[in-house]
Amino acid sequence: MCNYNVFVLSLTNSMDTIETIFNGNDFCQWLVLNDHVENELKANDYCQELVDNKQIVCIDRTRNEQSVDSTNHWYAFSK
């Protein structure tokens, strides 16, 4: 059995503290390797669903960015 850890960071600024942030690619790989979804495509879809439902937020995407690749960004759980 292969374990995969999601690399997380703590981030603090003067306005707020985000306890845990994580990379979308690491999160998608973790979902697959821990049998939460069947493959990377479904993991990507699930990540986007979490964003759409405001359960996680992308913290480094610019407003005008048109990228559909959600795996190359950093996320945090919504408060």
Sign of CA dihedral 27, 77, 74, 12: negative
Q: Are 42 and 28 in contact (CB under 8 A)?
A: no
At the topology level of CATH, where does 12-77 sit? Answer: Arc Repressor Mutant, subunit A (1.10.10)
Question: pLDDT: is 20 or 1 the higher one?
Answer: 20
The residues, any chain, with a CB within 8 Å of residue 70's CB and separated by 6 or more, are 24, 44, 47, 48, 51, 58
The pLDDT score that the predictor gives to residue 46 is 95
Q: For 69, phi and psi rounded to 5 degrees?
A: -85, 100
Instruction: Calculate the average pLDDT of the chain.
Output: 79
The pLDDT score that the predictor gives to residue 79 is 78
What are the domain boundaries of the chain? 12-77
